[in-house]
Structure 1
């Protein structure tokens, strides 16, 4: 599995700021609807439900919200870089500015876990995160995320 098979270029966005998780999840629902024919409201609700189980802010300014949805046939992703980090209740209490959301089929099992592990490994790499934070162009961000070097452990 590679990030290029999960993340379409137009599903990568740079936003000036977000004020809350709720607004982030609405934005992710809109991006998912536009790029993967996912019901945006269902995506929003599923992200909210998953987040209620425990925060998906993994630390170092990174959040990995994820949810399972009916009607999907593969795992797909959306990435947002926020220019002004915001509070996400992350495990390290630091504000978040890099968000990679995953949407998986309800019965995806191991594929969902593999995708989550791949994204987690990629965004644990501080040099990749630094490059993501230094760029404001969506196409460049997509290239950084899907570069084969970033996916070497996949």
Structure 2
């Protein structure tokens, strides 16, 4: 599995700011609806429910919100770069500016965990994160993410 398998080129957005984690979930839900046809309310509820189990801000300015959704047939993802970092209750208490949201079928099993591990590994790389933060063009960001994933798989 590579990031290209789960992240469509249209699934990348650079936004100026989000006023809160909840507002970020609304932005993610808007994208999920336009990219994958998901219902916004279902996405928001699933992300909020998952977040209530523990924060998905993994540190170093990165958040990996994720949820299992009914009706999905495969794991899919979205990426947002936020120009003005926001509080995400991260484990290191640092604000977040790189957000990779993952959605999996309710019965995804291990494939969901593999996708989460792939994204986590990719965004743990300081060089990749620096490149992502230095770019605002969604197609460039897509290239950075997919080339990084391909290089790791090789």
**Same fold? TM cut 0.5:** yes
Question: Paired residue for 2:152?
Answer: 153
Corresponding residue pairs, total: 153
Note the aligned Cα RMSD (angstroms).
0.8
Question: Paired residue for 1:71?
Answer: 71
- Residue 153 of structure 1, CA deviation: 3.4
Instruction: From the superposition, tell whether residues 151 and 120 of structure 1 become closer, same or farther in structure 2 (CA, over 3 Å).
Output: farther
CA distance in 2, matches of 1:83, 1:30: 18
Question: Paired residue for 1:138?
Answer: 138
Instruction: Give the structure with the larger helix fraction.
Output: 2
| 1:35 aligns to 2:66 (yes or no) | no
> Where in structure 1 do 4 or more consecutive aligned residues deviate above 2 Å?
149-154
Question: Paired residue for 2:54?
Answer: 54
Matches within 5 A, 1:1-154: 1-147=1-147, 149-154=148-153
Q: With structure 2 as the length reference, what TM-score do the two structures score?
A: 0.97
- Residue 38 of structure 1, CA deviation: 1.1
CA distance in 1, matches of 2:131, 2:151: 17
Contact 1:46 1:69 in 2 (8 A): yes
Contact 2:86 2:95 in 1 (8 A): yes
